[in-house]
Chains A and B, each alone.
Chain A
Amino acid sequence: MAILIIAEHDNQSLKAATLNAVTAATQIGGEIHVLVAGSGCQAAADAAASVAGVDKVLLADNAAYEHQLAENLSQLVAELGRDYSHVVAPATTTGKNVMPRVAALLDVAQVSDIIRVDSEDTFARPIYAGNAIATVKSLDAIKVITVRGTAFEAAATEGGSAAVEAVAAAHDAGISSFVGEEVAKSDRPELTAASVIISGGRGMGNGENFALLESVADKLGAAVGASRAAVDAGFVPNDMQVGQTGKIVAPDLYIAVGISGAIQHLAGMKDSKVIVAINKDEEAPIFSVADYGLVADLFEAVPELDGKL
């Protein structure tokens, strides 16, 4: 039995979510191979080779894989995947985009967003916005899985010494092309990897007021998040959204400011270790999950908090 992990990377370095997927694969058990498919991605492959627990790295370096377009990458993964018992990827937007396509090409189901490994074929995953946890047994010969990063520790980036093996297969479906991207700039920690997050909701009133949160974030080394209401109102860009349809986070400390706590938002943050809610409505549902709740006007409480840190 061997497991193929699809690495997420930017051709230079591995994305942190790949390390969580390695840990999940270790819990499944078996030899672990990592596929690094990209263009000019030797550095990312070398990084994967030194990750603890990785036995072999497959390097597919080809222009067709540069932006990891699903149409091209899925053909490569399906071709390689036939020789594995498990094909695993992090449940990031890239993993979610490519893996179901791989599963269909292999004529097997996919188990999405697993949070627990019970055995080689049985996994737990949240359904209904995290309001129920389903334990699912895969009946297929090849298990195609995406892994929720926050549910597994990151594997150590050092200690491994896997061999890097080149894969020649070039698949260019020729039906899609990359046009461009707009990457949101941020000097703060990445939302999904931050140990502290401070998020704002509709109660923030406008985008400028997010500066209040940013000041606190700077003092705590925190990332800044938002609820869907804040994103929809145009206060902040949508890649800051925490929730069922945004990012799933589980930091040590989550501070929800001016967020009512709708089911869809809670789905994205209720596995945080400590939750703090600051809201002027004492009936807000966020208080039912908060470890520490402060009923107060955020425009007074947040600057005061900022001053006391």
Chain B
Amino acid sequence: MKVLVTVKRVIDYNVKVRVKSDNSDVDLSNVKMAMNPFCEIAVEEAVRLKEAGVASEIVVVSLGPQAAQEQIRTALALGADRGILVQSDENLESLTVAKLLAKVVEDEQPGLVIMGKQAIDSDNNQTGQMLAALTNMPQGTFASEVKVEGEKVQVTREVDGGLQTVELNMPAIVTTDLRLNEPRYASLPNIMKAKRKPLDTKTPEDLGVAVKAHTQLLSVEPPAERQAGIKVASVEELVDKLKNEAKVI
């Protein structure tokens, strides 16, 4: 079975973002970029499926600028077999990404598509579900456990009240939650080997998908600053402040 994993190049999760002074967007110049943490978990899960003999080939896909090749190479170093970059310098919204991925799915015919549940830049949590709709595949979102059994996959999902398990006919889409696994690090020999693994570059035009704007970003602003607080010296003072000043208890 072939597994397709998607990875997104995003701002490193430890970086505190700054909003541009003209409020047009956040400032991403000279900021450290990395693979979206949920995508790392998706790659790890695919590699584990391959190690368990369930997956035969792992294809990693990224969409975005030329530089997203770095994130594909990272996935290749972690154990993916080959990469596809759908290159575009335009702003690709979730629906467009899903349409492009649907074309890749059509070409590759994977048994399973594993994606992150959300990207930590846009915080949308949409692309996996949209791809599932466009390919008419079932979806196992927010997965904390994935078990492939024959032609079906059992996915345990993290839902608001606890956990829910669903069974999906394959091919299926799985989106990863944080608890699914602990991603490994790439070793130096594997990073070297990854440089020789095949990486195809395509464009939205090659895939026959028009990049269309469905939303318009009007402005980006920093969130309201909290008033500076005070340090209290004792538990007694804390309780007094909460009762008499903040009046919350």
A residues adjacent to B (C-beta < 8 A) = 67, 69-71, 74, 92-94, 96-105, 107-113, 122, 126-140, 173, 175-184, 192, 196, 220, 228, 231-232, 237-239, 244-245, 247, 252-253, 263-264, 270, 273-276, 282, 287, 289-296, 301, 304-305, 308-309
Contact = CB atoms under 8 A, between A and B. Distances in A.
B222 A179 contact: no
Contacts of B139: 70-71, 97, 101, 176
Interface in B222-249: 222-223, 226-227, 229-232, 234-236, 238-239, 241-242, 246, 248-249
B219 A135 contact: yes
8 contacts: A100-B124, A105-B133, A109-B95, A127-B123, A137-B215, A175-B138, A291-B230, A293-B229
A178 B215 contact: no
B163 interface: yes
Interface in B1-52: 11, 13-14, 16-17, 19, 26
B194 interface: no
A239 B167 contact: no
Contact of B13 (A196, A264, A295): A264
A288 B128 CA distance: 36
Given A101-B130, A136-B218, A178-B166, A110 B16 contact: no
B232 A136 contact: no
A176 B167 contact: yes
Interface stretch (B65-73, B154-162, B201-209): B154-162
A267 B14 CA distance: 13
B235 A301 contact: yes
- Most chain B CB neighbours (cut-off 10 Å) among A109, A180, A237, A290: A109
A110 B93 CA distance: 10
A216 to B, nearest CB: 10
Contacts of B167: 176-177, 179
A261 B179 CA distance: 20
B215 A293 contact: no
B168 interface: yes
B160 A309 contact: no
- Chain B binding surface SS class: mixed
Given A94-B159, A111-B215, A131-B16, A238 B179 contact: yes
Given A93-B141, A134-B217, A239-B159, 9 more contacts: A92-B160, A93-B158, A96-B125, A127-B220, A128-B121, A140-B214, A176-B167, A247-B160, A291-B230
A28 to B, nearest CB: 16
Top 4 A-B residue pairs of the complex, sorted by shortest distance between their CB atoms: A109-B214, A100-B129, A104-B133, A100-B126
Given A292-B241, A305-B238, A237 B126 contact: no
Given A122-B218, A134-B220, A309-B249, A104 B130 contact: yes
B178 A228 contact: yes
Given A274-B248, A292-B241, A104 B98 contact: yes
Contacts of A140: 214-215
Contacts of B218: 122, 135-137
B137 interface: yes
A263 B123 CA distance: 14
A105 B136 CA distance: 10
A289 B228 CA distance: 7
Interface string B153-193: 01001111111111111000000011100000000000000
Contacts of B63: none
A290 B234 CA distance: 15
Nearest to B102: A104
A217 B127 CA distance: 38
Contacts of A289: 226, 229
B229 A182 contact: no
